Chains A and B, each alone.
Chain A
Amino acid sequence: MGKPLKVVKYNSQSRVYYQLLMITVLFMSFFGFSLFLSGAFNKVKSADDKLVKEYELTRAYRRLYVDLLNMETGVRGFQITGSQALLEPYTTANAKLTNDLDLAKQKAKEIPGEYQQIEHWEDSIINYASLLDAQVKNKNNYRDAIPSAADLIQQKQSMDMLRDQIGNRINNKLSEIEKTYIENNKLSRNYSIAIIFGNIMFFGLCVGAFMFILRRERALMHAEERIKKSENLYRTVLDAVNDGVFEYDIDTRNIFLSQAHQNALGYDFHASGVDAEQYSHHIHPDDMPKFAEQITAMIAGERNSYQTELRLMRANGEYVWHMSRTFSLRDASDRVTKIVGINVNIDEQKKREIELEHLNAELETFTYVTSHDLRSPLVNLKGFSKELQFSIKDLDKEIEKITDKIDKNHQQQINEIIHKDIGESVNFIISSVDRMDNLTKALLDLARIGRYEIKLEKIDVKQLVETCVDSLGFEIKENNIELSVHDLPIVVSDKVALTQIFGNLIENAIKYRRDDITSKIEISCTTGPSEYRFSIKDNGRGIDDADKGKIFELFRRARNVGQVRGEGLGMAYVRATIRRLGGDIDFTSKVGEGTNFIFTIPKKLITSSSDTTPEAIET
């Protein structure tokens, strides 16, 4: 009963692990996704920052480029016309140049590889600016001054170089920016898609988890309902069954008793049960220590089940015998948590059993005491009859001394009185007392069988029978008896008892033989499913049908025993001994053909451990 419980528990435990694992996976994936999102976000953001910087740098380049163009245009117009108004773009641009250069340098610093570029340009720009400055000063000083061709060529070369390099750079940058922009766009679109996908996934997981919980919950509800249903069925069955069922919860120390059990005993406990302490008062105090000891042993796990007879108290204080069978239930960790039991009312049979035991004990005591008490007067009978014999001898001697004074007639008469009348009477008394003594002894022996304590041991029956035959060797030889002993088993039984049984049966077979034919005695054994059947078969006088019923009775003897002497107790004794060993005896017989005594002894003798035997039987 403990096993299925264990399995259920194990399943639910693994389910808990499974759920924990699922939650962990969910959490991990959520965490991973967040990490991924923030990573992607950073990536998009840094790409955008870089783009902004590139763009700002390009704008700075562009301003520088425009400054340079304006300066050249202004100086050229001023040189040609000498008009101060046309010099205006130059002046403005020239004033901004240093600032714009610084700005471009500053922006270039933020982008690797760009700063060397601008440093490279800086010299050319300053050179070019001072070239233009010299030309403007020269024109202001000399109205008609015309720059030399070499100056103009140098100016043109510088300007071309700057314009090419910066212009190209700007163009490159612009196309780079465009490319980066497209890439960034893609990145941020991926980012958005990831967010959307992630959200959908997350939502799906939530829905899945919700569905899972819902299903679990419903299954649990179903299971609970089923348990409730089966528990109701269980309670109904318990209440319907007449035998009492009880259930003891070790943790709560609560005892539940089935309704029928309560009804039978007149209890009215609360439906939820009763405290063990309170319940224990309903067990007979004499039965309680043993019961408590066994329950303790079961709680400790030393044994799984227990069976005992105990008295339970009715509500009216009367005790009723019950057979109590208990079993322990264990949980997953193999700890005993509950003890369940069935109490069957055996009051009537138990009372009868006790009555029978008392009767048996009384009978035994009666036999024992009677045979003992009989011995006391026997001592007197024997003693005084012997003393009488002594007195007769003494009297004889005294009479001898005075024989010559008594006449022949009187002598004859005295002799007759002393030896025939008194002597014979005394002899009859002595032989009767002897017989009575034998009878009381036999009775005593019979009474002792009940008290006899069986000692089990391995016995080679063949050897045992041969010992019995040896002790009767004289009679067997004297009467030319053919005695054959077949194969006999090795049994576990009481040696003394078995010796007496075989000894008596063989002796009887010899005693009640026929004198006109050769006597044959055959001893054999057949094996039954649970017992050995021994046979002692003779070809003797046989037993008359009318006597068959008396064979095992006390002090009865069959009619055709002739001169054979006996107390008539042999077979009663033999049967009592065989029954004491757990077997029985019977016979088949025909007058003139012989008798076959068959007795059984069990293969496995259960020695009754007489827990409940009252003291009376022991004394």
Chain B
Amino acid sequence: MLSSTATAFEIIMIEDDMGHAHLIKKNLARAGICNKIQHFDNGQKALDFFFNEDSNMDADKLLVLLDLNLPEVDGYEILKRLKSDTRTDKIPVVILTTTDNPREVDKCYELGCNAYVTKPVEYDNFSEAIQKLGLLLAIVKLPNIKHD
């Protein structure tokens, strides 16, 4: 598989469904993605990670996989916060959710998401979609965030 050393970034997966999280990890691994994956099962925990003072986040080495239906703080709110803060607005955010309502897709792009991927119910398709996403992630080039 592709070398992941060129894109040594960490994947932040925000997903409340443990089953989904497990299946996503499994299929990303099948696509050869062996980057570190940090998993948050709750919106607030994710926000704490990004915005807490004592968080040791390295913003230019992150990529976010974000679900929309989350407890406490939902995906839209997280997306909005990430994209409206200069510290985090360059982090690529991929929405990964079951919803395929065009209205919600539009809303996410308006809020500044970088890609929107629907989780297919059919597992063959699901597996394929996640693996393709993995292949994409393997060649993604992250922005160079300048620290003033």
A-to-B contact residues, CB < 8 Å: 372-373, 375-380, 382-387, 437
Given contacts A372-B98, A372-B99, A387-B26, A379 and B20 within 8 Å (CB-CB): yes
Contact B26 A386 (CB under 8 A): no
Given contacts A384-B19, A387-B26, A379 and B121 within 8 Å (CB-CB): yes
**Which residues of chain A are within 8 angstroms of B19 by Cβ–Cβ distance?**
377, 379-380, 383-384
B-to-A contact residues, CB < 8 Å: 17, 19-20, 23, 26, 69, 98-99, 119-124, 126-127
**Which residues of chain B are within 8 angstroms of A382 by Cβ–Cβ distance?**
121-123, 126
30 A–B pairs (Cβ distance < 8 Å), ordered by A: A372-B98, A372-B99, A373-B69, A375-B98, A375-B121, A376-B20, A376-B69, A377-B17, A378-B121, A379-B17, A379-B19, A379-B20, A379-B23, A379-B98, A379-B120, A379-B123, A379-B126, A380-B17, A382-B121, A382-B122, A383-B19, A383-B20, A383-B123, A385-B123, A386-B123, A386-B124, A387-B23, A387-B26, A387-B123, A437-B122
Compute how far the CA of A387 lies from the CA of B22 in the bound complex, rounded to whole angstroms: 11
Which residue of A is nearest B18, CB measured? Answer: A380
**Which residues of chain B are within 8 angstroms of A386 by Cβ–Cβ distance?**
123-124, 127
A376 CB contact (under 8 Å) in B17, B26, B120, B122: B17
Q: How far is the CB of A376 from chain B (nearest CB, A)?
A: 5
Most buried by B among A373, A375, A376, A382: A376
Compute how far the CA of A373 lies from the CA of B121 in the bound complex, rounded to whole angstroms: 12
Q: How far is the CB of A510 from chain B (nearest CB, A)?
A: 27
Q: How far is the CB of A500 from chain B (nearest CB, A)?
A: 19
**Which residues of chain A are within 8 angstroms of B122 by Cβ–Cβ distance?**
382, 437
**Which residues of chain B are within 8 angstroms of A378 by Cβ–Cβ distance?**
121
Compute how far the CA of A377 lies from the CA of B20 in the bound complex, rounded to whole angstroms: 9
**Which residues of chain B are within 8 angstroms of A380 by Cβ–Cβ distance?**
17, 19-20, 23
Compute how far the CA of A387 lies from the CA of B124 in the bound complex, rounded to whole angstroms: 10
Contact A383 B23 (CB under 8 A): yes
**Which residues of chain B are within 8 angstroms of A437 by Cβ–Cβ distance?**
121-122
Q: How far is the CB of A63 from chain B (nearest CB, A)?
A: 135
Compute how far the CA of A385 lies from the CA of B121 in the bound complex, rounded to whole angstroms: 12
Contact B119 A379 (CB under 8 A): yes
Q: How far is the CB of B99 from chain A (nearest CB, A)?
A: 6
List 10 A-B pairs, minimum CB-CB distance, nearest first.
A380-B19, A386-B123, A382-B123, A383-B23, A383-B123, A375-B98, A378-B121, A376-B98, A437-B121, A375-B121
**Which residues of chain B are within 8 angstroms of A372 by Cβ–Cβ distance?**
98-99
B23 CB contact (under 8 Å) in A373, A375, A377, A384: A384
**Which residues of chain A are within 8 angstroms of B69 by Cβ–Cβ distance?**
373, 376
Sample of 9 more A-B contacts, CB < 8 Å, known A373-B69, A379-B20, A379-B98: A372-B98, A379-B119, A379-B121, A379-B123, A380-B17, A382-B126, A383-B23, A386-B123, A386-B124
Compute how far the CA of A373 lies from the CA of B99 in the bound complex, rounded to whole angstroms: 9
Q: How far is the CB of A496 from chain B (nearest CB, A)?
A: 16
Q: How far is the CB of A560 from chain B (nearest CB, A)?
A: 32
Compute how far the CA of A385 lies from the CA of B127 in the bound complex, rounded to whole angstroms: 13
Compute how far the CA of A377 lies from the CA of B23 in the bound complex, rounded to whole angstroms: 12
Compute how far the CA of A372 lies from the CA of B124 in the bound complex, rounded to whole angstroms: 20
**Which residues of chain A are within 8 angstroms of B26 by Cβ–Cβ distance?**
387
**Which residues of chain A are within 8 angstroms of B17 by Cβ–Cβ distance?**
376-377, 379-380
**Which residues of chain B are within 8 angstroms of A385 by Cβ–Cβ distance?**
123
Compute how far the CA of A241 lies from the CA of B42 in the bound complex, rounded to whole angstroms: 64
Compute how far the CA of A364 lies from the CA of B23 in the bound complex, rounded to whole angstroms: 31
Compute how far the CA of A383 lies from the CA of B98 in the bound complex, rounded to whole angstroms: 13
Q: How far is the CB of A380 from chain B (nearest CB, A)?
A: 3
**Which residues of chain A are within 8 angstroms of B99 by Cβ–Cβ distance?**
372
**Which residues of chain A are within 8 angstroms of B23 by Cβ–Cβ distance?**
379-380, 383-384, 387
**Which residues of chain B are within 8 angstroms of A387 by Cβ–Cβ distance?**
23, 26, 123
Q: How far is the CB of A378 from chain B (nearest CB, A)?
A: 5
**Which residues of chain B are within 8 angstroms of A375 by Cβ–Cβ distance?**
98, 121
Which residue of A is nearest B16, CB measured? Answer: A376
**Which residues of chain B are within 8 angstroms of A376 by Cβ–Cβ distance?**
17, 20, 69, 98
**Which residues of chain A are within 8 angstroms of B126 by Cβ–Cβ distance?**
379, 382-383
**Which residues of chain A are within 8 angstroms of B121 by Cβ–Cβ distance?**
375, 378-379, 382, 437
Compute how far the CA of A413 lies from the CA of B119 in the bound complex, rounded to whole angstroms: 38
Which residue of B is nearest A618, CB measured? Answer: B103
**Which residues of chain A are within 8 angstroms of B120 by Cβ–Cβ distance?**
379
Most buried by B among A372, A378, A379, A382: A379
Q: How far is the CB of A207 from chain B (nearest CB, A)?
A: 89
Compute how far the CA of A165 lies from the CA of B124 in the bound complex, rounded to whole angstroms: 161
Q: How far is the CB of B66 from chain A (nearest CB, A)?
A: 15
Q: How far is the CB of A437 from chain B (nearest CB, A)?
A: 5
Most buried by A among B19, B26, B123, B126: B123
Compute how far the CA of A468 lies from the CA of B120 in the bound complex, rounded to whole angstroms: 29
**Which residues of chain A are within 8 angstroms of B123 by Cβ–Cβ distance?**
379, 382-383, 385-387
Which residue of A is nearest B99, CB measured? Answer: A372
Compute how far the CA of A515 lies from the CA of B122 in the bound complex, rounded to whole angstroms: 34
